[in-house]
Structure 1
Amino acid sequence: MLDFWHGAQDLPIYGFVLRAAIVYVYVFVLIKILGQRSMTTINPIDFLFGVIIGDVVGEPLADGEVPLAGPFAAAGFIGAIHLFLSYIALKMPRFRRVIEDEPIILIEKGRILHNELKKAKMTVESLLMDLRFKSAIDLTEVDYAILESNGQISVIKKSKFDSLTPSDMGQSPQSKGYPSVIIQDGHIIKANLDKFADEVWLKNTIKQHGYHRASEIFLMTLDGAGKVYISGKDRKAN
């Protein structure tokens, strides 16, 4: 009666169908519990999770003699580890860099950084292909190109080539540059702050935006033109 669950040497077709339905629902619920992050980004931890889960729960669908209880328990345990690592990464910025790679700047101020290309193990042809996907065919228009932790390339064009370009109006605005994270989840990223200013400037800027301390801020960025973006933990954004 419960051959579809315990497994059998000659499992009938309806048993495989039932197994497929149960596995589908189980994995669907597991992904919902883990959150959308596992579906929208392909970070190393997400890729590893997907490969292992696919292998664990896929075996009972191919071999009717394998009981479902063991693979389900293993998949649940792996899901718990994945959820725990994701939670720790959210709470501990330093540990996050163990889980997720730092973004790599491939083009800076219009110049291709060859050493960074080698670090990313990317050829010039691959870079040009990704730039074409981002509608950045003309390299002279590209200010920054960044390889993000999920493997995608972000492109920041020079200000005069933005939509409704200032160059059409005879203007030459200052380059925006690459926005750097100054505060993330209440923690000051001192290495980035030291590139632009000091803690006195930071305290004054925070007060100008209506905050009293860094712990009240979820995200603060600063670009090369000195433009500040702040989003508070209380959903207040300026």
Structure 2
Amino acid sequence: MWFDTWSDLWRVLIITVAIYTTLILILRGVGKRSLAKLNIFDLVVTVALGSTLASIMLSKDVSYAEGALAFAVLCGLQWFVAWLSLRARWFKRLIRSEPRLLFSDGKFLDKAMRDERILRQEVHAEIRNHGFGDDEDIAAVILETDGTFSVIARDKAKTRSAMKDVRRAPEDPVANAKPAR
């Protein structure tokens, strides 16, 4: 059977347009943070929003008002977690990962790579994707909090000031070195 009734199709059409508009307004209200690259918490909220959206659009058991409230609560929780993580260091460490150094000055940091479950081939692929052909040209490869990789060229890493918040492994040759001034 293709569909039950025309009224069911009209309901899906009207509810989908209404809830889509509501979701856009709520996301605009909570700010750009909701639309940024995802960390683990953002991913969970995004999946929950998608599941809620599907339920509202297709289930007669979920009203528009219930769905809009669920969106508002999820976005409000995401805003509150972001707000609290800016004000409480312990909370930030609880919910956010740190960037992790995987490759430093031509050397793979095997313990860090094992901890993050990253293979050498994946690091090499990122180095190539950033336009480099030689490991020796690379000062660092960092696994960022959103799962992306940053590749820093050796000639662009004089003081390494952008790497202050990167978690270094004890095996990192520069971990115990004094920063350049």
Q: How high is the TM-score relative to the length of structure 2?
A: 0.81
Maintained 8 Å contact 1:109/1:177: no
Aligned partners of 1:49 and 1:113: how far apart in 2?
A: 32
Displacement, 1:72?
2.0
Q: CA 1:43–1:59 in 2, change beyond 3 Å: closer, same or farther?
A: same
Identify which of 67, 75, 79 aligns with 2:63. 67
Displacement, 1:132?
1.9
Q: Which moved more, 1:116-125 or 1:32-41?
A: 32-41
Displacement, 1:177?
3.6
SS, match of residue 10 in structure 2:
helix
Tell me the residue number matched to 2:38: 42
Q: CA 1:92–1:147 in 2, change beyond 3 Å: closer, same or farther?
A: same
Aligned partners of 2:53 and 2:117: how far apart in 1?
A: 33
Compare relative contact order (CA 8 Å, sep 6+) and give the higher one, 1 or 2.
Answer: 2
Task: Report matched runs for 1:75-154 at 5 Å.
Answer: 75-154=71-150
- C-alpha offsets along residues 13-64 of structure 1, whole Å, 9 cap, x if unaligned? 2221111111111111121122112212111111011000110121121224
Alignment-mate amino acid for residue 225 of structure 1:
A
Tell me the residue number matched to 1:189: none
Displacement, 1:10?
7.0
Aligned partners of 1:139 and 1:180: how far apart in 2?
A: 19
Displacement, 1:11?
3.6
Maintained 8 Å contact 2:99/2:143: yes
Displacement, 1:180?
4.3
Aligned partners of 1:178 and 1:154: how far apart in 2?
A: 14
Greater per-residue strand proportion: 1
- C-alpha offsets along residues 63-97 of structure 1, whole Å, 9 cap, x if unaligned? 24532222222221121111100101122233212
Displacement, 1:175?
4.3
Maintained 8 Å contact 2:108/2:120: no
- What RMSD, in angstroms, separates the aligned Cα atoms of the two structures? 2.4
Tell me the residue number matched to 1:225: 180
Maintained 8 Å contact 1:144/1:177: no
Runs of 4+ in 1 over 6 A off after TM superposition: none
Maintained 8 Å contact 1:16/1:64: no
Alignment-mate amino acid for residue 51 of structure 1:
V
Q: How high is the TM-score relative to the length of structure 1?
A: 0.63
Equivalent residue pairs, number? 167
Maintained 8 Å contact 1:11/1:64: no
Aligned partners of 2:112 and 2:22: how far apart in 1?
A: 42
Tell me the residue number matched to 1:176: 159
Tell me the residue number matched to 2:52: 56
Contiguous gaps of at least 5 residues in structure 1 = 1-8, 163-173, 183-194, 198-223, 227-238
Percent identity, aligned pairs only, is 19
- C-alpha offsets along residues 200-223 of structure 1, whole Å, 9 cap, x if unaligned? xxxxxxxxxxxxxxxxxxxxxxxx
Greater per-residue helix proportion: 2
Report which of the two structures shows the higher radius of gyration computed on alpha carbons.
1
SS, match of residue 146 in structure 1:
strand
SS, match of residue 143 in structure 1:
strand
